[in-house]
Structure 1
Amino acid sequence: MIDGLSFSLLTPPLIAFTVTLILTGWLIKNNVLKVLDHPNPRSLHTRAVRRTGGLGMMLGVAISWASIPAALPISVSLGVALLVLVSFADDIFGLPVLGRLLMHGAVAIWFSVALLSEARGWMVATIITISVVWMINLYNFMDGSDGLAGGMTLIGFTCYGLTALLAGNESFAVINFCIAAAAAAFLIFNFYPARIFMGDAGAIPLGFLAASLGMIGWTKGLWPPWLPVLVFSPFIADASVTLAKRCLSGEKFWQAHRAHYYQRMVRSGLGHRNTALLGYILMVSAGVSAMWAAHEDIAVQLGVGIVWGGIYLSMMIVSERYLERCPGD
């Protein structure tokens, strides 16, 4: 028999999963929204695929959140809505880069100012703004291989939810579990061979949520400030190092490319499926170690950070050696 606590934990995520499953399946079978991602020289796919899966995910999340008594700050909920609308318009029409970045910046500033009373300090607010804008964009950069971004969403927000639950904040845990549940439903259609992509309308708001909920959890005292960074480090490390390399080589970093490590892994012959599965192992390992270290003393936490820095450095050195035939475009 399910008690009250279990019922309140399970029902909203179940709603998110069910709604996302139904809507995503409907978006695949119907031609109401004819938004396709056509292959181009920068793509990893070879056929046109629908890119409306993000709408199914975000609607599933929104409907499930409506069943939770505790509400998110308006800067988060409305910020997500604005990002979905602008990003879906970009999926359809292809908006200018500057216009999109201005919207990302406006949402990030609003969130940072709203969080300022708790974060205490303009310097912290500035760092938060920059971090949010970067997380929004890097999540989108990393959404280029079947099942990768969906898997990071499932694993990352599950880690947030479990950490919040262990800290005694059930309502915040459920908020994160809803996102993870929606991602699980989406992955049924997005794992290789993908029948639908999440598009910018999914990746952009998910990046915002990864950053904003991570910082809210910190200000609530649920976890240390480094935990969100380690939980999402598989994406952060790849995107940040790739951006740095492109900037140092004088390339136009804002242009589409295939230089990310995960893209080169797919092209090297590993394929979408194996790249995703290896990514999942890395994601789970990073998330579990972050959850464990959060309850240890500062020396252990620092040690875990150093170890993961070494892991990523070693992986990149090995990758550069074995992926030389797929250097990126």
Structure 2
Amino acid sequence: MSAWLILPIVCLCSLWLTKQLRNYAMSHSLIDIPNLRSSHSVPTPRGGGVAIVLSFLLCLPILHFGGFISWEHTVSVVGAGGAVALLGFFDDHGHIAARWRLVGHFLSGCWVLYWNGSLPPLTLFGLNFDLGILAYIFALFYIVWLLNLYNFMDGIDGLASIEAITACLGAAFLYYISGFEYLIWSPLFLGSAVIGFLYWNFPPARIFMGDAGSGFLGVILATLSLQAFAASAKFLWVWLILLGVFIVDATFTLLRRILRGDKVYEAHRSHAYQFASRRFGSHKIVTLAIAVINIVWLLPIAYLVTVGVVDGVFALLVTYIPLILIAAKFNAGDLEHK
């Protein structure tokens, strides 16, 4: 069976499952009630991200047995993604202490690295640096950070969905034009699953993603980026560029809060995108603006890295400096009352 024929099935499956999860959440009172730390003003069901998880993970064995993805990749994604999603699901339904969630995140990261295989030397300005065991330590913290920052950035309607769709489809396009066609399937199918969910999550959202969905997307995107890095060192920079908005906003905000002495896991509304949504009085404007940034600004630069026109580190600096300035302009990490 052609993988292209399965793509719309995954999208429709996610669309249908999200509707069922919305009905389930409403009947079991799994509702996010607005409070002083919320970015929404209407009680909204949560946990819809499970539709993404199920739609994507269930298609992976089919892709493997069809010869489209490797066994190692399948086991890596299903194991780490399933574990993180399950942890988030239980947290959505009750509460799991932050330290135990973090332990689960690090164990999931170790699982990814075990099945991912060897990591190539890091290329900086044309020079290769073999970091040895340090490469795996950095990669582990990268996985855990991307997982958590995706949770932090899932704060307004449609944003986490749009980021995943543009990053996945952008990466698949760049794989294809550079001769790495075998890498396109996982990001294509993940993007398809998120598109089905976005129908219900687009502003004004009728259901939220929840920790199960946001954490899952974070760990899977990290896994896909490391898989691509193992295939070609340039793809690490490509993924860091494609995810630039989330990485810069979350990291800039976290560093400012740490320097101020705030509790890292304390709920807040001080990300740049949250300040922007309040300034413009609209989730839709901010979500669509970030989609435009991803497509018009980040993707072309990632393309230049892919075809070897621009060095990856230089491109990353060119990409991140304006994003940092935007984050500063919108007071990322500042006290909310300001």
Q: TM-score, normalised by structure 2?
A: 0.88
Alignment-derived partner of residue 236 in structure 1? 247
Quick check: 2:49–2:210 contact (8 Å CA) kept in 1? Answer: yes
Q: Distance in 2 between matches of 1:83 and 1:146?
A: 22
Structure 2 unaligned blocks of 5 or more = 121-129
Quick check: 2:147–2:219 contact (8 Å CA) kept in 1? Answer: yes
Q: Distance in 2 between matches of 1:215 and 1:22?
A: 31
Q: What percent of counterpart residues are identical?
A: 27
| Residue in structure 1 matching 2:50, options 55, 78, 92 | 55
Alignment-derived partner of residue 104 in structure 1? 105
Structure 1 residues 237, 118: CA separation in 2 closer, same or farther (over 3 Å shift)? closer
Shift of residue 146, structure 1, vs aligned partner: 0.3
Q: Distance in 2 between matches of 1:63 and 1:34?
A: 27
> What is the letter of the counterpart of residue 8 of structure 1?
S
Shift of residue 133, structure 1, vs aligned partner: 0.4
CA deviation vs aligned residue, 1:6-28 (integer Å, no higher than 9, x gap): x8342232121010011112222
Quick check: 2:105–2:144 contact (8 Å CA) kept in 1? Answer: yes
Shift of residue 143, structure 1, vs aligned partner: 0.1
Quick check: 1:140–1:203 contact (8 Å CA) kept in 2? Answer: yes
| Residue in structure 1 matching 2:2, options 5, 8, 26 | 8
> Residues 1-329 of structure 1: matches in 2 within 5 Å?
8-30=2-24, 31=26, 34-68=29-63, 69=66, 70-71=69-70, 72-119=73-120, 121-221=132-232, 223-284=234-295, 285-299=297-311, 301-320=312-331, 327-328=335-336
> What is the letter of the counterpart of residue 254 of structure 1?
Y
CA deviation vs aligned residue, 1:16-64 (integer Å, no higher than 9, x gap): 1010011112222345654222212111112221112111111111223
Q: Distance in 2 between matches of 1:14 and 1:33?
A: 30
Q: Distance in 2 between matches of 1:206 and 1:310?
A: 25
Q: Distance in 1 between matches of 2:273 and 2:61?
A: 36
Structure 1 residues 147, 203: CA separation in 2 closer, same or farther (over 3 Å shift)? same
Quick check: 2:60–2:74 contact (8 Å CA) kept in 1? Answer: no
Q: Distance in 2 between matches of 1:116 and 1:56?
A: 29
Quick check: 1:163–1:222 contact (8 Å CA) kept in 2? Answer: no
